Amino acid sequence: MTRLADAGEEALQRIAELPGGQRALTAVNDLRTRVDDLTKKVRGIDALEARVAKLEKELAALKKAQTPARRTTTRKPSA
């Protein structure tokens, strides 16, 4: 593992020494940070969907409770 880590560090140093290499490394680090932020936000969507589903069920139950029962009246026979 140590050899692999050392090889990775050497590769990053070589990239940084190339013209434009430092800018490329900065862009990659920024991309990693943005992907991490996006991942956190996407994980939160599942919880929000569950909350919305629960609220929709509660709203449907409230609508049913508020709807008055229809009365059927019999017509009076015409004279």
Supply the DSSP string of the chain, one letter for each residue. -HHHHHHHHHHHHHHHHSTTHHHHHHHHHHHHHHHHHHHHHHHHHHHHHHHHHHHHHHHHHHHHHHSPPPP--PPPPP-
Rounded distance, CA 12 to CA 29, Å?
A: 12
Instruction: Give the pLDDT confidence score for residue 29 in this predicted structure.
Output: 87
The per-residue pLDDT for range 20-50, each reduced to its tens digit, is 878 888 888 899 999 999 999 998 898 899 9
Q: Reply yes or no on whether the pLDDT at 10 is more than 70.
A: yes
Rounded distance, CA 70 to CA 79, Å?
A: 27
Instruction: Give the pLDDT confidence score for residue 55 in this predicted structure.
Output: 96
Most confident of 2-16, 45-59, 60-74: 45-59
Whole-prediction pTM: 0.46
